Amino acid sequence: MIMLSDLVSMYEKSIVNIGNQARVQQVLKQAERGEKVTIGFLGGSITMGCGAEPMESNGYAAQTIAWFREKYGSENITYVNAGIGATDSYLGVHRVEKDLLCYEPDLVIVEFSVNDERECNEESYDSLIRKIYLSKSAPAVVLLFLTQRNGCDYQEVHERIGKHYDLPMISYRNAVLEYITSGRLPWTMIAKEEDGTHPGNMGHFLIASLLVRYFEEISKKKKMIGDTVFKGPYTTDRYKNARLYDNTNLLPTAAHDFEPILLKEAQFSNGWRTTKGGDIAFYLNGKNIGIIYYGTQDELSGMFDIYVDEEKVTTLNGDFVGKWGSYAEYQELIRTEKEKVHKVVIRKGKESEKLQFTILGFTVS
């Protein structure tokens, strides 16, 4: 049984790092004066609101915005939700300019602790945080850490990066995991039994409550906090110049039986598809290049080989039968230290009997 005192304890446990609050305080003072404030959320499916019903109003991001609008006036608060399901900070750093920074946010909450798990994610998260913090609008950045039922997440890695920059960090995992494992907070109180990842309405409410409590505490402070010097990269800042290419800003140099496609059900909609076992080539300039493709459960997608500068680097299987759904997946193709133009070719593997393959974009840095 959770008592009121437990909620206070949850908030205290959730503060991983109070961090330098100067930018957050400036945003709240700006809102208090009746000025326009843009608040952005960047993350995966939980940031989208998945698990909440309805997700558009009961997701943690929507509930946090509801508090801002009630306190400071709905006409002054602009809300940008850049959550995309099944995406991590690698995809985040490549899409953040188009999905969020173009709106020049004043405050950004970043959440990728559940989705990050790959070797590249320490570098991608570091570059993402730097890209946001150093962007044109100089936003306040708050790092949010969530959890799954089994406690698995990437918080420890993200935490080291956040402490390096002395950023505010709030952990839903720290707040609830002890109560979950002890049995005092059954998972079914905060999520559906069959879903070990996405919080339900109560879980989203608790996440929003932690954020709101943090902002309330800062809003009470009268003395202005001085900003600190932002440190150099925690890693190599490999993805400093990360960008995303799709059929809206990239043309193939050659294409045979591949056509542009608008795939509204995919996380990234503007790609290219073949249903005839075609091939397609692109020239891309960068140090690091990756491909985003769409895995399907229609039993039509096959195995396609990827070549970079005439050398085969991998074979991708677009057949996702047996997985949790049809969704965007990515793979890094090359990681180098010198920027140059590379030729990337995608063609059907010789052993593949299935002829369909869908490219959703390319990640370049």
Asked whether the predicted pLDDT for residue 224 surpasses 90, the reply is no
What DSSP element (H or E) covers 179?
Answer: helix 172-182
Give the three-state DSSP class for 107: strand
Extract the runs of DSSP E, i.e. beta strands, from 190-278. Answer: 243-245, 254-256, 259-262, 270-274
Structure token digits, residue 249: 């800003």
Locate the domains of the chain by residue range: 4-219, 243-364
pLDDT band at 162 (very low <50, low <70, confident <90, very high): very high
Q: What's the pLDDT at 97?
A: 98
Q: What's the pLDDT at 26?
A: 95
Asked whether the predicted pLDDT for residue 111 surpasses 90, the reply is yes
- Residue 207 in contact with residue 200, Cβ under 8 Å? no
pLDDT digits (tens, 9 = 90+) for 128-155: 999 999 999 999 999 999 999 998 899 9
Q: What's the pLDDT at 222?
A: 80
Q: What's the pLDDT at 191?
A: 93
Asked whether the predicted pLDDT for residue 127 surpasses 90, the reply is yes
Helix axis angle for 60-72 and 22-32, nearest 10°, is: 50
- Give the full edge-to-edge strand order of the sheet including 37-43: 15-17, 169-171, 140-145, 107-111, 37-43, 77-83
What's the mean pLDDT in 185-192?
92
pLDDT digits (tens, 9 = 90+) for 230-276: 999 999 999 999 999 999 999 999 999 999 999 999 999 999 999 99
- Residue 144 in contact with residue 174, Cβ under 8 Å? no
Q: What's the pLDDT at 331?
A: 98
* Residue among 49, 14, 3 nearest 215 (CA): 14
Calpha distance 129→239 (Å, rounded): 11
One-character DSSP codes across 146-177: ---TT---SHHHHHHHHHHTT--EEEHHHHHH
The model carries a pTM of 0.96
pLDDT band at 1 (very low <50, low <70, confident <90, very high): low
Other C-beta atoms within 10 Å of 312: how many?
Answer: 12
Give the three-state DSSP class for 127: helix
In CATH terms, are 4-219 and 243-364 the same topology? no
pLDDT band at 4 (very low <50, low <70, confident <90, very high): low
Q: For residue 142, what are the β-bridge partners?
A: 109
pLDDT digits (tens, 9 = 90+) for 189-202: 999 999 999 999 99
What's the mean pLDDT in 311-331?
96
Burial of 355 from C-beta contacts in 10 A (0-12 / 13-18 / 19+): middle
Structure token digits, residue 183: 């049995």
pLDDT digits (tens, 9 = 90+) for 337-365: 999 999 999 999 999 999 999 999 999 99
What DSSP element (H or E) covers 13?
Answer: helix 4-14
| 4-219 maps to CATH 3.40.50.1110 | yes
What DSSP element (H or E) covers 281?
Answer: strand 279-295
- Residue 191 in contact with residue 148, Cβ under 8 Å? no
Residue-averaged pLDDT of the chain:
96
The CATH class, in words, for 243-364 is: mainly beta
Quote the percentage of the chain above a pLDDT of 90. Answer: 93
